[in-house]
Amino acid sequence: MTNQDGFETLAIHAGQEPDPVTGAVVLPIYQVSTYKQDGVGGLRGGYEYSRSANPTRTALEQCLAALEGAPRALAFASGMAAEDCLLRTVCSPGDHVLVPDDAYGGTYRLFARVFSGWGLTHDVVPISHVAAVREQLAARKITVVWAETPTNPLLGIADIRALAEAAHEAGALLVVDNTFASPYLQQPLALGADVVVHSTTKYLGGHSDVVGGALVVADPELAERLAFTQNATGGVAGPFDSWLTLRGVKTLAARMDRHCRNAMRVAQMLAEHPAVSEVLYPGLPSHPGHKTAQEQMRAFGGMVSFRLLAGEEAAVRACGRTRLFTLGESLGGVESLIEHPARMTHASVTGSPLEVPGDLIRLSVGIEDCDDLLDDLRQALSDS
């Protein structure tokens, strides 16, 4: 592969040369913990123990790095394991970080309930408002600015380039959780971010059959430090999980095109629906982040959130009435999912500055026939 190859080519081939021994076109699952050494310290290809490195994981890491346009990626057992490794590496007890006012509940919980005990303090900032972030950066020493864009579950948009500039002027790192967009729609490192976080469980894996995470970094020295922590703490992606994720990645571009097309139609239908008070989708011109999203994303993604006029109980009822949209947590698979964030994915942020409205419903719009999806939502909302 060369750096000139297009995204779809890299997704299928980067890190995945045919097997040199058999010619197998698909990379084997190296389901192995240890490797024969040719004399003490005589490693073949650098492999000695699968926590430190495993060929199937290496292939996934090379592929993810290529897709984000970076020299190095590291694959983890989950998105949370990736986030944990990153914070342990770039922060120290006593440091202060900025976290977004809308984010995956588990990410906020990691800051508020785990790293707070380690001595890492945080402030919550409106991440779509760069001026507010700059104010916080001017007020005290900040180690990390953490951003999600689009955010989970309110689909807010953060201006990555402007945030990177602001963070760097203040000597902070900008971390962008790129899970909702995927590297096909958005490449934060090219816009100035220092680290990209992924829950590969979502669009990268794409089939709701594997949990995983990744860190992608531009700076090789930082990558080395992260790799040290990863090996020292051990939250690595296993060989079979790496293989499943790689298989999913091959079709990322084709799937994302369809997710985006379906999501736009779903958002437009909901925007006209009498039971709906607000649709949160960055593809709608009425969305406050629409222009920024247009500038930094190829298209607007497969996630759509909306609020019901009739309130929380109506939202909970609607979530239980769909036929094709499966009621469940997670997102980014080929099948459509529906959920009630306040009682499900974001229950852990109740009472915090990240609490989400009770009348909110979040959709992960899949790649089924869109007419079927629209019919399903219309019938679920029919008496809301």
Ligand X SMILES: Cc1ncc(COP(=O)(O)O)c(C=O)c1O
Positions annotated as catalytic residues are 51, 104, 177, 202
- Assess 80 for contact with ligand X (CB under 6 A): yes
Site string for ligand X, 146-165 (x = CB under 6 A): --x---x-------------
252-271 vs 370-380: helix crossing angle, rounded to 10: 40
Site for ligand X in 193-222 (CB under 6 A): 199, 201, 211, 213
Q: 262 vs 43, 294, 304, CA distance in Å? A: 49, 18, 10
How many residues belong to the site for ligand X (CB under 6 A)? 15
The reply on whether position 305 binds ligand X by CB under 6 A is no
- 136 scored as a contact of ligand X (CB under 6 A): no
Laid out side by side, the sheet with 121-125 consists of 72-76, 213-217, 195-199, 173-177, 144-148, 96-100, 121-125
Specify the residue, 56 or 107, whose C-beta has the smaller distance to ligand X.
Answer: 107
Q: Identify which of residues 292 and 364 has a Cβ nearer to ligand X in the complex.
A: 364
Distances (CA, A) of 210 to 79, 136, 173, 284, 343: 11, 38, 30, 31, 24
Provide the b/e sequence for 343-358 (b: ≥16 CB within 10 Å): ebbbeebeeeebebbb
Contact 305, 360 (CB under 8 A): yes
The answer to whether residue 230 forms part of the interface with ligand X (CB under 6 A) is no
301 close to 377: Cβ distance less than 8 angstroms: no
Nearer residue to ligand X within complex by CB, 79 or 238: 79
Provide, rounded to whole angstroms, the least separation between the CB of residue 131 and ligand X.
24
What distance, in Å, lies between the first and last C-alpha atoms of the chain? Answer: 53
Whichever of 79 and 301 has its CB closer to ligand X, that residue is 79
The region of 112-120, 172-180, 231-239, 304-312 touching ligand X under the rule CB under 6 A is: 172-180
Nearer to ligand X, 148 or 359 (CB): 148
Q: Which stretch binds ligand X (CB under 6 A): 44-52, 78-86, 354-362, 375-383?
A: 78-86
Q: Which residue has the tokens 């100035």?
A: 192
Give yes or no for residue 61 binding ligand X (CB under 6 A): no
Candidates 20-28, 76-84, 87-95, 165-173 — which segment interacts with ligand X by CB under 6 A?
A: 76-84
Report whether the peptide linkage leading into residue 153 is cis, meaning its omega lies within 30 degrees of zero: yes
Which one of residues 56, 143, 149, 179 is an interface residue with ligand X (CB under 6 A)? 179
Q: Which span sits near ligand X by CB under 6 A: 88-96, 166-174, 176-184, 301-309? A: 176-184
What SS3 state is found at 264? helix
- 107 near ligand X, rule: CB under 6 A: yes
Q: Is residue 106 close enough to count as binding ligand X by CB under 6 A?
A: yes
Indicate whether 101 belongs to the interface with ligand X (CB under 6 A).
no
281 part of the interface to ligand X, by CB under 6 A: no
Q: In angstroms, what is the minimal distance from the CB of 332 to ligand X?
A: 8
Nearest residue (beta carbon) to ligand X: 79
Question: CA-based angle 166:167:168, to the nearest 5?
Answer: 95
Going by C-alpha positions, the residue among 223, 276, 272, 209 that lies closest to residue 82 is: 223
Provide the minimum distance between the beta carbon of 319 and ligand X in the complex, in angstroms, as a whole number: 17
Tokens of 147: 């951003």
Q: Which is nearer to ligand X, 124 or 381 (CB)?
A: 124
Interacting span for ligand X (CB under 6 A) from 99-107, 162-170, 217-225, 290-298: 99-107
Residue 18 in 3-state DSSP? coil
Distance CA 214, CA 71 (A): 14
Phi-psi group of 23: left, alpha or beta (phi > 0 → left; psi -120 to 50 → alpha; rest → beta): left
Contact pick of 68, 177, 241, 376 for ligand X (by CB under 6 A): 177
Binding interface with ligand X (CB under 6 A): 78-80, 104, 106-107, 148, 152, 177, 179-180, 199, 201, 211, 213
